[in-house]
Structures are given as C-alpha cells and as structure tokens.
Amino acid sequence: MEKAIQSGILLLAFFTIPVKAESAAVVHSTVIDAEISLVWDILTKFSRYGTWNTWIPALEGQPVEGQTVLASVNMGPFTMNTLHKVTTVIPGEKLCWDDISWFTFLVGGSRCRTLTFLNSQQTLLENHFTFSGFFRSPGGYLFHSPVSRGMVKENRDLKSEAERRSAPTQITS
C-alpha cells in the first residue's frame, strides 16, 4: 500500500510540475512583404484556409469574439478536429482563440497571432501558443514539437500567400 501511495505521489508530481518556460509557450515570427491589411484579410477568411494553410487545412466559423470555430489541425501523422473560442479580435492587429474541446481541461492552449506594421509593404507576424490545463507539463513536453512545426508551416504558408497576392502582375505581350 505504501509503494502505491509513493507511486501515486510521484505520478501526480510529474503531471503537475511547472513546465519549463521554453516548453510552456511556442512563439514564432516572420516578416511578410505585404501590406498589413492584406495579411489580415488572409488570416481572417477562415473558409479559405484550405487554399493556403497546410497546418490548419480546414477552419469553420467566423473571426468574431465569442464565436466557436472548428479547426482541423495537421499534427503530422494524424489530424485533430478541435473546437476553439475566439477571444480577441482587434482588426488589422490581433486574433486570438482558446481551445475548448473536451480534452482541454487536461491539456489545451491559447493562441494569438499579432500583426505589426513595419512599413507600407512589410508586416511582422507573431504567432504565440501557450499550453494550459491540468496536464500542461507533459502536454507541453509531448506537443511542443508538433505545435512548433505547425506554426512554422502556417507562418511560411501565410507569408507565401500574402507575398504572392501582393506581387505586381506581369503583363505579357
């Protein structure tokens, strides 16, 4: 009985210890050679995510505070369908949502994308995810890499789409 109690305490400690700062949050940023209004337009047209976003190839809902959105998230070997609640929409500046799927009390997260005006043709995109939930420590450990890879893909995809759309059209004769 004593061994079972000790094992239970060790297991509980593993699942509740604070996560190291580098695994509690995932942050990636990139400079996009496009106007901030174009980047915002692409980012907030959820129904078009499948045309440019390889990490979240399907997103249903509206970018309106309080709205629930359903995302298909490509986690490498599998795709997760997850529910989110839009928490912050500051037009042209910030879009945030929190996970609200059934498992988020165990491990979930909050995600914000922030756009910063650099000049008339450049926008800084910052993509920030913070793990939450009772098992955020092992969850952060297990999911840090796939979330990080996904955010890098999404930033790359958004940059590519915005720069493609802002490039001057070539007129051929």
- Cα angle value 83/62/87 (rounded, 5°): 65
Residues 6+ apart with CB under 8 A from 62: 46, 69, 86
Cβ–Cβ < 8 Å for 69, 84: yes
Residues 6+ apart with CB under 8 A from 171: none
Over residues 129-135, mean pLDDT: 81
Which one is predicted more confidently, 102 or 15?
A: 102
pTM for the model stands at: 0.81
Instruction: Tell me what pLDDT residue 13 has.
Output: 43
Decide if pLDDT at 20 tops 60: no
Q: Where are the domains of the chain?
A: 15-166
Q: What six digits make up the tokens of 130?
A: 């913070």
CATH topology of domain 15-166: Alpha-D-Glucose-1,6-Bisphosphate; Chain A, domain 4 (3.30.530)
Q: What is the CA radius of gyration of the chain?
A: 19
Decide if pLDDT at 72 tops 70: yes
